[in-house]
Amino acid sequence: MMAFINHHQIPLLAETDVLVVGAGSAGCLAALAASHDRKYKVMLVERYGFPGGTSTQMLDTFYGFFTPGDAPKKIVAGLPDTIVHALHETGDMFLRPNTYGAGTGVNYNPERLKHVWDQKIIAAGVHFLLHTTLVDVVIEEAEPISCIFWNKSGFYKVKAKRVIDASGDADFCHLAGYTYEVAGELEPAQSMTTTFRMSNVNLEKFQQAGGKQMLKEKMKEAVETGKHALPRKEGSVHEMCQQGCVATVAVKVNDLRALEVAELTQAEIEGRRQAFIYETFFRQEIPGYEAANIIGLSHQIGVRETRRVYGAYRLTKEDCLSGSMPPDRILLCGAPIEDHRKGKNGEDETFWQYIPGRGVYGVPYGTIVPQGSEYVWVVGRCFSATHDAHASCRSMAQTMAMGQAAGLAAVLSLDTDTAAHALEVSRLQEKLLQVGAILEIPETIADTSRSGWVHNFSKTRQ
Ligand SMILES: Cc1cc2nc3c(=O)[nH]c(=O)nc-3n(C[C@H](O)[C@H](O)[C@H](O)COP(=O)(O)OP(=O)(O)OC[C@H]3O[C@@H](n4cnc5c(N)ncnc54)[C@H](O)[C@@H]3O)c2cc1C
């Protein structure tokens, strides 16, 4: 394979057993799982100055731990639970029961979450490097994989026996020459969203004036009368852990490609423009928001999908909607297909399709193994799925569960000197069950309303 850079001249920074590229929710869990039994050297590399990816750059709610509907079941567990526990210990999370949408959310303080990720990664003995971007890959037969990184100190090489691509954009797979679909090629790509947080909201006054229903009506009215050029008539507007603070996921930027940097630049500017249209709307129209201000925009615009790698298996819409439970499943998902995109008439539309029957499907191991790869896994929002299936299986409980599976798979592959595609999945499943993962649909409904279950998650709010 041709490298873009003459890698022979680049100094060797480290040799590691498992290298994880990208410290988003998927990558952090992959590193924690790979280092769980402290057998192998694990390295985690991230381009920004903090871990968490989308979880800390722009969001405050883990979806996907629970199924939606009136009878929520908890379907993701194991190492992802330890993150929620840590947030719970300092009072930095609460449950937000929803019967609609993606179901009960685990709301958290994203700033505290950065610290939690740091602490977990360090405690697990992971070699952790921030501000460091993967820029090239060299794969030579019978050699460890060489990954070239750039940071303020220069170019560096890391040699790794196993690699987990958790970059969200499948940067490793792209540079290594694996095949993938780019969102927008076959079906319209999901829109991008700048999220924002407002402080000084009088929530009591907001509730007394009609709360979310009133907000929905005012948004509709604002769009229909043309008074405020809101891009969407709906969106998630919810209370945060911090007193008097509200998070909003409503901006919608379409028709720009996130992998083309000139277009991504335009998207960032457009996202910020829209956010301040909402700020004016809230301040002028919504009781309780008169003195509120935006105190934080997302670190970057939220990108829902870019590259989706072709794996040994590709999750499809049919798999999701038939509630398929393949024998080689490595995690469960119950989130609906939630597709944010421009409708036929150019209007804002979000398409929802719920998982029928028992409301859950299993995700097979092959979805995290890139086609033709020997010692590589791909997890998180760039895993192997069609557009529709991805629109269901992209919540953070699922991306964490993928990371958990890939980290344990890398360990098993080293233990048994086996390639990713030849791994005995039943042995991986044993390891998953040992750390507490859920691979069967629970019979009992999760009691999300009292302490003592969901591991003492005691506070719930609407
Ligand atoms: C606007 C928006 C709203 C959403 N709302 C929710 C929600 O409320 N709840 C929910 O559960 N899910 C939500 N999702 C989906 C979910 O957040 C994502 O699917 C999930 O966080 C993806 O996790 P990831 O680890 O795969 O990728 P990311 O979180 O994108 O992490 C990838 C990491 O890799 C790093 N990286 C990238 N390239 C390189 C490189 N070359 N070298 C080194 N590091 C690199 C990035 O900086 C990043 O930290 C939302 C997504 C968006 C965009």
Write out pLDDT tens, residues 272-312. Answer: 999 999 999 999 999 999 999 999 999 999 999 999 999 99
Q: Could you tell me what percent of the chain has a pLDDT over 90? A: 85
Residue-wise pLDDT tens digits, 226-249: 999 998 888 889 999 999 999 999
Nearest CA to ligand 1 atom 2: 302
Percent of the chain with pLDDT over 70: 94
Tally of CB atoms within 10 A around 262:
9
Q: Which of 66, 137, 167 to mutate to test the pocket of ligand 1 (most atoms within 8 A of CB)?
A: 167
Q: Indicate the range of 2-11, 123-132, 305-314 predicted with least confidence.
A: 2-11
**Per-residue CA distances from 209 to 197, 248, 423, 461 (Å):** 21, 19, 58, 18
Residue 454 is predicted with a pLDDT of 58
Ligand 1 centroid vs 306 CA: distance in angstroms? 11
Q: Say yes or no: CB of residue 46 within 6 Å of ligand 1.
A: yes
pLDDT digits (tens, 9 = 90+) for 261-275: 999 999 999 999 999
Please count the residues of the chain.
Answer: 462
- With a 6 Å cutoff on the Cβ, whether 306 touches ligand 1 is no
pLDDT of residue 462: 38
Give me the pLDDT at residue 345, please. 61
pLDDT of residue 235: 85
The stretch 200-217 carries a mean pLDDT of 96
pLDDT at 205: 97
Number of H helices, E strands in the chain: 12, 20
What does the block give as tokens for 359?
């409301």
What is the chain's mean pLDDT, rounded?
93
pTM score above 0.85 = yes
User: Does residue 453 register a pLDDT over 50?
Assistant: no
Task: Give 460's pLDDT tier (boundaries 50, 70, 90).
Answer: very low
* Residue located nearest, by CA, to atom 20 of ligand 1: 396
Q: Which of 307, 28, 299 is nearest to 169 (CA)?
A: 307
Measured between alpha carbons, how far is 46 from 89 in angstroms, rounded to an integer?
26
Task: Determine what percent of the chain falls in helix, strand and coil, rounding each to the nearest 5.
Answer: 30, 25, 45
CA of 304 to the centre of ligand 1 (A): 8
298 lines ligand 1 (CB under 6 A): no
- Please give the average per-residue pLDDT across 61-69, as a whole number: 94
Average pLDDT over residues 160-185: 97
The closest alpha carbon to 246, from 235, 262, 259, belongs to 235
Please give the CATH topology (third level) of the domain spanning 7-187+305-434: FAD/NAD(P)-binding domain (3.50.50)
